[in-house]
């Protein structure tokens, strides 16, 4: 599909503008004498346009971008919050950004890594952390490999793992990659784990434990969480906590106190790093003491002689990322945690929950809310109440027309036509009200003018795409 954006290559040359730079009056070097033949390129189609044309072209393109710096980004599960710019400045300090991990002068960086491990320990209750995993899913894989190694070490064969159907999609994928087969547990009418089914599944014998996303992808905190971990432990299993979105828990409760043995956090979601399109991320995992010998190496430990890299325990799952992980993301999270302090983090959690519930209550006046109860940082509505067979996709495309980004759609899979909304704590009441106003307008449009929705978006450079062709045969140019 052709968009209405003119490419820089299609711009004409305005000779007058072009001519303000004087003609070159020095001899032009013969590149063939300087650059090896094999590296010489002759016909590079560099557009020959004046500076002002280039500047305007790229500035205009940048205005077509949408990001959290332009408006609300209510993408459920992804926690697209506003990231304070000071974290960017701190990460870019030469002492952090220009240092090589093998330089001897990196004691400051090692101290930062050590300190943030301690902070994460306080926040989650876990004994020891590794900062190596480069993303949430990577942390899950590392955590499950630890689980596997733990049982192997004990000489117990455990090949299965329980994953509720309200888990994040990466959970079963990581479990499979770690070599487990998956027992899926169907959520009950409250959107929680049915304890009797869990008990039954655990008694199956070779079950290594459970992988729980909490709050789950419905934005629901499982009220029986302590019973869940107890059932798993009573049956010789371990409990893995997917804490990618720990926002709503910050300063309020801790996975360790709920009975979990391993937890991963997404620093890029819970704390502060602008992310999206696959990165950059950081998914540290924390474990209880019994599991710490299995953590990826090297670990940093504190001794009488200062901070040192601890040598191999012989039980580690090995290295899973070069050096210390995605250091820049870790620095941003560190700056964010220090700036907020314990009270600030608690407030982040409280407002994340308040904002989500504010939206939920206002939107459920019109939209269908399958699990009608207080939510955590996000909630899920669906297209069930929409007039004229208007679908979730139509709603999402129409939202774009109103100049804001659409929520996550068709996920979680357990709700047909899901729209998963996470406002985050950084949105003001004004911006939440604007979102509600748009959603209400769209609801009315569905009744009165469904074609408007069916053909949306109308005022973006690219109109409605054939999603199947776009996914299967993407045209990434022209
Ligand atoms: C985002 C997310 C993940 C995966 O994290 P990545 O950094 O994208 O790999 C896992 N679980 C939950 C609940 C998430 O929201």
**DSSP-H helix ranges across 364-473:** 392-401, 429-448, 450-454, 467-472
Question: What span, in angstroms and rounded, lies between the C-alpha atoms of 421 and 79?
Answer: 10
DSSP string, 285-336: EEE-GGGGGGS-S-EEEEETTEEEEE---S------SSTTS-HHHHHHHHHH
Q: Is residue 177 part of a domain?
A: yes
Residue 45 and residue 104 in one domain = no
Q: Is residue 294 part of a domain?
A: yes
Residue 244 and residue 163 in one domain = yes
Ligand 1 binding pocket, CB closer than 6 Å: 77, 135-137, 168, 170, 213, 242, 244-245, 266, 281, 283
Note the pLDDT of residue 80. 93
Query: Which domain CATH number covers 392?
Result: 3.90.1150.10
* Total domains in the fold of the chain: 3
Residue 384 and residue 276 in one domain = no
Contact of 235 with 202, CB cutoff 8 Å: yes
Note the pLDDT of residue 318. 93
Atom 5 in ligand 1: residue holding the nearest Cα: 136
Note the pLDDT of residue 478. 57
Atom 14 in ligand 1: residue holding the nearest Cα: 244
pLDDT category of residue 18 using cuts at 50, 70 and 90: low
Note the pLDDT of residue 116. 97
Instruction: Tell me how far the alpha carbon of residue 276 lies from the centroid of ligand 1, in angstroms.
Output: 11
Atom 2 in ligand 1: residue holding the nearest Cα: 244
What mean pLDDT is reported for the chain?
92
Residue 303 and residue 392 in one domain = no
pLDDT category of residue 3 using cuts at 50, 70 and 90: low
Residue 164 and residue 213 in one domain = yes
Q: Is residue 63 part of a domain?
A: no
Note the pLDDT of residue 304. 85
Using CA atoms of 115, 117, 120, 126 in order, give the dihedral in degrees to the nearest 10: -130
pLDDT category of residue 395 using cuts at 50, 70 and 90: very high
Q: Is residue 120 part of a domain?
A: yes
Query: Which domain CATH number covers 262?
Result: 3.40.640.10
Note the pLDDT of residue 1. 45
Instruction: Tell me how far the alpha carbon of residue 426 lies from the centroid of ligand 1, in angstroms.
Output: 20
Residue 275 and residue 171 in one domain = yes
Residue 335 and residue 392 in one domain = no
Residue 173 and residue 317 in one domain = yes
Residue 185 and residue 261 in one domain = yes
Residue 30 and residue 106 in one domain = no
Report the nearest atom of ligand 1 relative to the CA of 135: 7
Q: Which of 242, 243, 325 to mutate to test the pocket of ligand 1 (most atoms within 8 A of CB)?
A: 242
- Quote the domain boundaries for residue 359: 348-472
* Of 74, 179, 428, 134, nearest in space to 296 by CA: 134
Contact of 103 with 250, CB cutoff 8 Å: no
């Amino acid at each position: 599909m052709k968009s209405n954006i003119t490419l820089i290559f299609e711009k004409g040359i305005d000779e007058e503008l072009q001519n303000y730079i004087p003609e070159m009056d020095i001899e032009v070097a013969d590149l063939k004498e300087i650059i090896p033949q094999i590296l010489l390129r002759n016909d590079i189609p560099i557009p020959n346009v004046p500076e002002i044309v280039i500047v305007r072209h790229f500035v205009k393109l940048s205005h077509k971008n949408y990001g959290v710096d332009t408006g609300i980004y209510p993408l459920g599960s992804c926690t697209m919050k506003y990231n304070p710019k000071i974290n960017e400045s701190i990460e870019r300090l030469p002492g952090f950004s220009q240092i090589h991990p093998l330089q001897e002068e990196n004691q400051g960086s090692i101290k930062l890594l050590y300190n943030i491990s301690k902070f994460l320990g306080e926040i989650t209750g876990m004994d020891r952390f590794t900062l190596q995993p480069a993303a949430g899913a990577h942390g899950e894989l590392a955590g499950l490999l630890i689980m596997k190694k733990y049982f192997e070490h004990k000489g117990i064969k455990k090949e299965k793992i329980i994953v509720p159907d309200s888990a994040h999609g990466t959970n079963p994928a990581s479990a499979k990659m770690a070599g487990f087969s998956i027992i899926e547990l169907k959520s009950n009418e409250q959107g929680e784990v049915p304890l009797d089914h869990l008990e039954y599944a655990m008694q199956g014998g070779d079950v290594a434990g459970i992988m729980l996303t909490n709050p789950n992808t419905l934005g629901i905190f499982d009220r029986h969480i302590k019973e869940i971990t107890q059932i798993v432990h009573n049956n010789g299993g371990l409990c893995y906590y997917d804490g990618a979105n720990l926002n709503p828990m910050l300063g309020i409760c801790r996975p360790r106190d709920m009975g979990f043995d391993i937890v991963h956090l997404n620093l890029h979601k819970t704390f502060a790093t602008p992310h999206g399109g696959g990165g950059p991320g950081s998914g540290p995992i924390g474990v209880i003491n019994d599991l710490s010998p299995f953590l990826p190496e090297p670990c940093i430990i504190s001794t009488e002689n200062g901070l040192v890299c601890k040598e191999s325990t012989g039980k580690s799952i090995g290295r899973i990322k070069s050096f210390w992980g995605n250091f820049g993301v870790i620095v941003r999270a560190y700056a964010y945690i220090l700036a907020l302090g314990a009270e600030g983090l608690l407030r982040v959690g409280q407002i994340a929950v308040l904002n989500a519930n504010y939206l939920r209550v206002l939107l459920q006046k019109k939209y269908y809310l399958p699990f009608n109860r207080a939510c955590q940082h996000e909630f899920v509505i669906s297209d069930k109440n929409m007039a004229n067979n208007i679908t979730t996709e139509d709603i999402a495309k129409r939202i774009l027309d109103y100049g804001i980004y659409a929520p996550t759609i068709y996920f979680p899979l357990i709700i047909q036509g899901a729209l998963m909304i996470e406002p985050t704590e950084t949105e003001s009441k004004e911006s939440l009200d604007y979102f509600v106003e748009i959603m209400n307008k769209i609801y009315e449009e569905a009744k009165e003018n469904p074609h408007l929705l069916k053909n949306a978006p109308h005022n973006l450079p690219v109109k409605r795409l054939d999603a199947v062709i776009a996914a299967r045969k993407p045209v990434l140019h022209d």
